[in-house]
Each structure stands twice: as structure tokens, then as C-alpha cells.
Amino acid sequence: MTLPQVGAADVARTVQTMPLSKAINAGLRRAMLDSDRVLLMGEDIGRLGGVFRVTEGLQAEFGDRRVLDTPLAESGIVGTAIGLAMAGFRPVVEIQFDGFVFPAFDQITSQLAKITNRHEGALTMPIVIRIPYGGHIGAVEHHQESPEAYFTHTPGLRVVSPSTPNDGYWMIQDAIASNDPVIFLEPKAKYWMKGEVDAAARALPLHASRLVRRGTDVTLVGHGAMVTTLLQAAALAESEGVSVEVIDLRSLSPVDYGPILDSVRRTGRMVYAQEAPGFTSVGSEVAATVMEKAFYALEAPVLRVSGFDTPFPAAKLEGAYLPDADRILEAVDRVLAY
């Protein structure tokens, strides 16, 4: 294959405003321009551009040998990607909806996550598995899952989730450049959220957490779509005289604890919020680690706000299931009361 020519417009320093979906699309395009070993695979990602149009236009630009429409068989898609990686390619797999990843779960956890270790590092698995996840879109069963804990529990996988368009643009490129398999969780509720994307100035490293808002009284931590809700809660708290610091986890495995611990040592209080059920979750792990490493700085226990430990409900009940600013503020009041 021959690399497409890169024009001056592609390398010029530009800052554009675009939604998260378009930012990820631009990041995929940039990675495909940089290497003809990058392939995209998934259900309806070619001519249709994917259910959420994240891959729109890429098949027309790069052809159907690099942007492949696959059968409706997630296990087969991931298994094929593993074979392609063994042959030197860097496949990017799209799972159409979060709940559809489970037919591929065996391939991901039994094969993809373990092959490099099995070969003592001699065989790498540069595969990205893109998964739209989370609620807030009023969808039916199997279309609003938050399966991140399954993958963070699996050694050999890297797990990340962008919350802004700029992070979406840069993190997808960094994930594709990784020689380890990356589960790339895209908060589907934020696909249409617009923000600035700087295509010339690289954002944070792939596995760095990010201080989003400074405060002095309590630290709020979360990932994905929940970061927007944390910022809403912080603004409401400020109107009541409470100064809230907000941190975007960004990388769920590994976790960059530095900014989190620094923040907690300043504020003395922390609340973790997530859409996923609370039991044995990412929030559970972060809360436990913070209490181990910053115990003497804490003025109150670390609290968690999460979805309930039930299957995701029917669309009309998702507002009661998913944490909102009010539930987060209730937790803030509780940690401040100690």
C-alpha cells in the first residue's frame, strides 16, 4: 500500500471546534495517514460510517481494504484483528454498542490480553477496541452498558476513556501507537458535545489524569461522560460557597494517581462518581487506593456515587439510575459534614 500524500493543511497548526465524534474521526484519519498498517474493522463502519458516524468518510478516502465492513460477529471480528496484529497490522475494531462486546469477551480476555505475556514479550498486540459506552441516550437493553470494570480487572489490557474532543483526537492516536491492546471507551452521550481540538499541540500522555477545575474544599473524580456532571455539580456547589476541585481520570488502567493524591492532600475530602454499578468497580479501586495512600490527609471517608447494582433499566428510568449533580452534591454535603 502507498501512504496518501499529506498536504500543508494537514500539518499546519490549527485549532478547530468540533464534536467528540468528529474529533475521534479526525484522529483515526491522522493515524491512517501516518501508517498504512492501520486498519479499521467493524459492523457498518464503512459506507454507513458507523451507527454514530464516527468513521464517516474514511472508507471513501482509504478504500474498503483499510476500512472493512464485517459480519455481525464480534468474536470473529476480534479474532480476525488478533491474526492481523500477528501479521504486523494495527487493527482498530469498533464494537457497535457496549452490550455487544460480550460475545467477544473470550477473545479479549483469554487471548488478546494474554498473548504478549504468553510469548514473553516477543509478540505484541497493537489492537484498539473502540466501545461506545454509557447511558443518557434513551436506548434499549444492551445499548447503555458500562462494562469498564471487566476490562480493568484483566491484566494485559490498557483501558482509557476521553471526555473531551481534544482528548478524543489525541488519545485515539496514542492508543493506536501503543504496542499493547487498548480498550478505548467512548462516552456516547458526549459524541455531539463540541469543544476545541488543537491538532498541533499534543494533549496529555495517554495514561495521565487531568486536573479540570481547581478548588479547596473537596475533590471530585470521575471518567467519561461523568466529568461533565461533576463540573455541573462543582458550579452549583460554588454558588453555595463550596470550592470543588474536579479531576478527569482519563486512564482507567493504569491509573495516574499523582494528581488525585495531590488534590486530596490539599482538600482532605474526595467523592468518586461513575455511571457503572458501584460494587467492585473502578470507583471502588480508586477509593481504596486513595484511602491507603493518603489516609492521614483525609478529613472524611472517600465516598462513591454510582449507578445502582441492578441491570440498566428501561429508558424512561435512566434518569433515576444515572448519577446527576444532585446526587453528587448530596455526597459532597456528607463528606463536608464530618
Return the active site residues. 143
Task: Report the length, in residues, of the chain.
Answer: 338
Strand 194-198 relative to strand 15-19: parallel, antiparallel, unpaired? antiparallel
Strand order in the sheet with 67-69: 67-69, 38-42, 90-94, 128-133, 182-187, 158-160, 251-253
Distance between CA atoms of residues 248 and 226, nearest Å: 9
Closest-CA residue to 224 (of 182, 262, 273, 271): 273
Q: Which residues are paired to 211 by β-bridges?
A: 247
For 148, residues 6+ apart whose C-beta sits below 8 A from its C-beta are: 133, 159, 161, 183, 185, 223, 252, 276, 281, 282
The residue written with cell numbers 458535545 in the block is: 193
